[in-house]
Amino acid sequence: MTQDVASAATLLIGQRVRSGREDDYLQWQKKLGAAAARYPGFRGVELRRPSGEQTDWVVVYQFDSVANMQKWVNSATRQEFLDRGADLFEGPGTQQVIAQDSKVDDTLVTVVVSHRVAPDQVEDFLAWQADVDDAESRFAGFRGSEIFRPVEGVQDEWTISYKFDTAEHLDAWLTSPERQRLLSDERFTDFTLRRIDHSFGNWFDYGNTDAPPPSDFKTSIAVWMGLYPTVVFLTLLTAPLGMPLWLGMLVGNLLSSFVMSYVTMPFYGNPILRFWMSPSKNARQPLTNIKGLALVLAVNAVWAVIFYLVTVKFWTLP
């Protein structure tokens, strides 16, 4: 493990939203994020919905330094928002800080753990954490970990960040006898765990928060189903402009990203595939997976026939 004296800061805030107030919370959080964007050093904010064993909504803020992040955390603006939104939550939220040179890697499944450690147990904690790191490093898919000391004026906890390549490999570690044995040490059982995954960000809306995140295979297939009609439609729309290939691809890729994020996946991909991407506990397997894959193939086959008729029988591209 390494400790990084950092020039960037990631702030994770977890809050449990009252049942039935989710829409109100989304509007409140959208305005709060816009307010944060006006503060110095702001780099971005991302909202993570509850998923799997994590029942909290998690907001990930990025700032260029701990100092600028602290200005936002302690600002009167943020406090006013917290006062106005107090009735949206079931109890107080949790806060974790990672101070480092780069943001949380969104291409991997990342877990952030915060521990409260008594001053006289720091050396024992570091030795115990070294054992944890050694144990998890022997599991398939492990991609590294970092440990961060408490940040004065921001948080009192020690924060550990570790990454795995897939949700399945991470779950193997989280449920392993080795981890349970290490957690039996009662000195270090006061901790908060936050899981950050879904490498396609807000392209997916998981309606079933009790289900684990879908596999990389499923997300890739879902993107394929959404990307095919998106790209073809945009190609048909931009073809009359007569742009050269290099410029057409540049513009087309930009438009595809926006359309996928704001139109295709929210209103097309998610509603159709939610039963497959986030199946209920009672879903029959492997029947549900077979139905999901068959549906994707059928939908894309229909699009292929439509686009063949449009571009070959009725019209040809300029």
pLDDT band for position 267 (cuts 50, 70, 90): confident
Query: What pLDDT sits at residue 74?
Result: 80
pLDDT band for position 53 (cuts 50, 70, 90): low
91 vs 94, 102, 209, 293, CA distance in Å? 10, 31, 19, 41
Q: Is the model more confident about 172 or about 6?
A: 172
Report the pLDDT averaged over residues 302-310: 92
Residue in 209, 232, 261 with CA at minimum distance from that of residue 52 = 209
Res. 264: pLDDT tops 50: yes
What pTM did the predictor assign?
0.45
Report the pLDDT averaged over residues 264-270: 81
* Structure tokens that stand for 195 in this block: 């899981």
SS3 (DSSP) at 164: strand
Q: Is the model more confident about 278 or about 250?
A: 250
Amino acid present at 297: L
Report the pLDDT averaged over residues 294-303: 95
> What phi-psi label fits residue 144: left (phi over 0), alpha (psi between -120 and 50 degrees) or beta?
left
Whole-angstrom distance, CA of residue 146 vs CA of residue 161: 5
Res. 31: pLDDT tops 60: yes
Query: What pLDDT sits at residue 177?
Result: 93
* Structure tokens that stand for 258 in this block: 């926006």
Res. 105: pLDDT tops 60: no
Describe the crossing of helices 22-36 and 76-84 by its angle, rounded to 10 degrees.
170
Provide, rounded to the nearest whole percent, the portion of the chain with pLDDT above 90: 18
DSSP structural state of residue 213: P
Q: What are the respective helix, strand and coil percentages of the chain, to the nearest 5?
A: 50, 20, 30
Strand partners, 97: 11
Residue in 190, 164, 265 with CA at minimum distance from that of residue 222 = 265
Report the pLDDT averaged over residues 56-75: 84
Q: Which of 52-61, 95-104, 181-190, 308-317 has the lowest mean pLDDT?
A: 95-104
